[in-house]
Amino acid sequence: MQTVGKKVPGLMIAGLRGGSGKTIISLGIIAAWKEKGFKVSPFKKGPDYIDAGWLSKAAGRPCYNLDTFLCSPPIVRQSYQENSKHCDIAVIEGNRGLYDGIDTDGSTSTAELAKLLKLPVLLVLDCTKSTRTMAALLMGCMKFDPDIKICGVILNRIAGKRHEGKVRANIEKFCNIPVFGSIPKLKSKDFPERHMGLVTSEEHISSDQAIKATIKVAKENVDLDGLYEAVTGEYYRHDTEAITQINSSEVKPAKPDSVTIGIIRDSAFQFYYPDNIDALKKLGADIVFISPLLEERIPDVHAIYMGGGFPETHAPQLAKNKAFRENLRKLSQNGLPIYAECGGLIFLGLSIQLGEQNFPMSGILPIKFGLSKRPQGHGYTKVEVVNENPFFKKGEILKGHEFRYSSIMAIDYKDHEMAFKMERGKGILDKKDGFFKNNTFGTYTHIHALGSPSWAPSLVKKARAFKAALG
């Protein structure tokens, strides 16, 4: 363990519930501070790709996820320290309500993460049709856990000056907490939503304009200078706290026998933790990005990693690119290691049916998919590796998450072709997940490389073996 520098001041932005408006406010504050010349390190609490993509765009740098279910607290703390150390300030967007976790102890909650990282909390209050009650709710949050330091609040969805004045007066009288901003009800045109939340930044046709819209909102309605001073001031800064680097088994020196791993990434496939890609690079892998929307052939690679995304919204384009689909199927038959999650799993299948139309996919795994109106799998997962497979050792326990609207319409498999038994979560079918054939592996469970340290070394090892077999 070694000391690498002082802790960067940071801020946790939380709400009383999901949908309270904290994402738009987080984007505006981050982008406005960036416009002022500050280096802002963005983070997203919990297993989220879409918000993280927008936060990354607002900050102009990668957004890392912090999750104490997927990763141990020391690893979470190290990730925060390592990925913020060259910045002026860090901003973490929480998820759900401040104290919401997986149990009555608040495990995995935004509050517990704030305490772990010793960060102040800026609480976003949705004030719709409410005045004095907001002070009561704020007071409850302040007293529920005295170790949580709420440094201020943002009033959101304010109906007008009279409404704002009443809420402010009650908060000042009963809570003695600064109000750093008051934001009116916003129109949804800048941030359209669909079945899995906000439209991703990669798909939004005017994402730059959308970020500019959040900057305008923040500059006009938030005391950005006062908030920055409160966060970076002596009381919250913890100037004497040093960053420590722990020895981490998943970070290994690069080996000279490098391999090339292709990552399927475009507007259809975009759900990747930066930590997963970083882990592959640290093990000596060269990364190339490949698009089945734009390319007909796969370049020379020794393995492929396919993340999640929205193949359903791009199904016509994916189906039309027959050359790419056939190329991928042939490579799989030749033993190329392929690891796919969620949307990637769909692309490995036979087809996806949307309404009355059926769109062919790559045909590697014998699964036919459909799309439901309600989530078919949503939340954290915990799996036991019960069958021999290309990427994980039998007996391993892995933690991940799933969030899908796709459904299984038909599948042909044998029990030994499913690597995972679900201890938590739904999986592909009958509490089973991790469908594999040869060196191709598809799962609904998204994993985080820092919480599943065997994943990246296994994929790189398989890539090296494939490279060696080529001669």
Residue in the structure block whose two tokens are 């799989």: 332
Contacts of 458 (CB under 8 A, 6+ apart): 390, 391, 392
**318 close to 292: Cβ distance less than 8 angstroms:** yes
**58 close to 43: Cβ distance less than 8 angstroms:** no
Strand order in the sheet with 64-66: 64-66, 40-45, 89-97, 10-15, 121-126, 150-158, 179-184
The CA distance from 418 to 150, in Å, is 46
The CA distance from 419 to 229, in Å, is 51
The residues annotated with a catalytic role in the active site are: 342
- Integer distance in angstroms from the first to the last C-alpha of the chain? 41
Taking Cα atoms as reference points, which of 3, 32, 409, 349 lies closest to residue 183?
A: 32
Contacts of 382 (CB under 8 A, 6+ apart): 397, 398, 399, 400, 422, 423, 424, 425
Crossing angle, helix 224-232 and helix 22-35, to 10 degrees? 90
**343 close to 371: Cβ distance less than 8 angstroms:** no
What are the CA-CA distances from residue 47 to residues 177, 288, 342, 399 (Å)?
30, 24, 14, 11
The number of residues making up the chain comes to 471
The CA distance from 471 to 283, in Å, is 21
Do β-strands 446-447 and 440-443 pair in parallel, antiparallel, or remain unpaired?
unpaired
The CA distance from 42 to 59, in Å, is 7
